[in-house]
Every structure is written in C-alpha cells, then in structure tokens.
Amino acid sequence: MHGESAGVARWRITVDGEKCALCEVCSRHCPSGALRVEQGGAVLRLVFRPGLCHGCVDREGCEIRCTEGALARARDESTEEPAAEIVLSQCELVRCARCGEPHAPARKLRAVARRRRGKDPAATARCPHCRRTALAIRFVEEKHGPGSHTQSRSAREILRRAGHWRGA
Ligand code: SF4
Ligand code: SF4
C-alpha cells in the first residue's frame, strides 16, 4: 500500500534547515502534536512524528503558517515505514548575556534582527527574565534613585515580589 497505513494517507514534512528560524510557529499550531520543538541541553530541535500527522487537508497547517517559507508538506508515497521521529531542524541556543542560561536559537535571533532592521541588536542578547528584570530595576531606580535596587530593602522587595530578584 503506497504511503498509506490501514487506508489512511501518510504525510511527509520537510524543512529547509538553512531557512528555518526555529520560531516554533508551526509546532504551536500543529493540532495533532506531530510537530514539536524540544530542548536538549543548549540545542533546540524541531521534531516530526509522522504517525501523528493527518495532513491538515481541511485547515491551515504548518506549511501555510511557516514564517520563513522553510517548510513543505506532501503526501508520503514511499513504501517504506517512516521513522517514528524525524529531526527536521536544529540549532544551538545562545546564552543570555546576563545570567548565562541558554535562551533562544541563534537563527531565531538573526531572523528577529532582520525584521527589526536598525533597532538595538542588544535587545535580544538577554533572556526574557533578565530583560524584565532590567526594566523592573529601571523602574525602581527612576522612583528611588540610582543604585536603589541593591541598597533599598523596599526596592528589593518590589523586585522580589515581581519575581525579578535573584540577588544580582
Ligand atoms: S500537516 Fe497539520 S498535523 Fe501534520 S505536521 Fe503540519 S500542522 Fe501538524
Ligand atoms: S519550519 Fe518554519 S514555522 Fe517551523 S520553526 Fe522553522 S521557520 Fe518556524
């Protein structure tokens, strides 16, 4: 039976790894869980599970939603059983310039920088937690004066309650 299992069509997803920004749009909209982005250490992978894919023939699927035109969907005409899991794309995570935690794939940051043309490239150098912390510190210092976030107990309390105080 070509590309079918028990009368059900099989689908193949391919991704151009050079174009894919690991933005997670396709995996977030995949209704079956066939596409998932998984983190292993400091590497992010876009993983496809052919057994779960139903092709999205009656709705907008991953191919239409891909932000970079990197993903293609086609009927799988092969007579071979596909692997249970296929890694479609992967990329190392860039570490946050402040806390050192892996926070975003380098390719996603490059795609964001392209879209932000001319805007501050350092804005994405920190993880979301550290960006929020920097904003909270600025807010506290504007209210209580320079250095107040480390000196004033009440300012530290404001940051701690907001979940931004790590004792930095
Ligand atoms: S075609 Fe639909 S079910 Fe299949 S991977 Fe894409 S979004 Fe998921
Ligand atoms: S295939 Fe497209 S939508 Fe999916 S992670 Fe890559 S760039 Fe984003």
Measured CA to CA, the distance from residue 12 to residue 81 in angstroms comes to: 12
Q: Where are the domains of the chain?
A: 4-95+104-115, 127-161
**Interstrand relation of 8-9 and 4-5 (parallel, antiparallel or unpaired):** antiparallel
pLDDT digit string, tens, across residues 4-51: 555 578 999 999 999 999 999 999 999 999 999 999 989 999 999 999
Ligand 2 contacts CB of residue 111 (under 6 A): no
- Asked if 86 and 12 count as a contact pair (C-beta separation under 8 A), the reply is no
> Domain 4-95+104-115 classified CATH 2.60.120?
no
Predicted structure pTM score: 0.76
- For 125-146, how does the pLDDT look when each residue is reduced to its tens digit (9 = 90+)? 888 888 888 887 787 778 777 7
Q: Could you tell me the distance, in angstroms and rounded to a whole number, from the CA of residue 99 to the centre of ligand 2?
A: 27
Q: Is 32 in the pocket of ligand 1 (CB under 6 A)?
A: yes
Taken in order 88, 26, 95, 38, is the CA torsion positive or negative? negative
Pocket flag, ligand 2, residue 104 (CB < 6 Å): no
- Residue 22 near residue 107, CB atoms below 8 Å: yes
* Half-sphere exposure for 166 (CA within 13 Å, toward CB): 9
Tell whether the model's pLDDT for residue 86 goes beyond 90: yes
Ligand of minimum distance to the alpha carbon of 60: 1
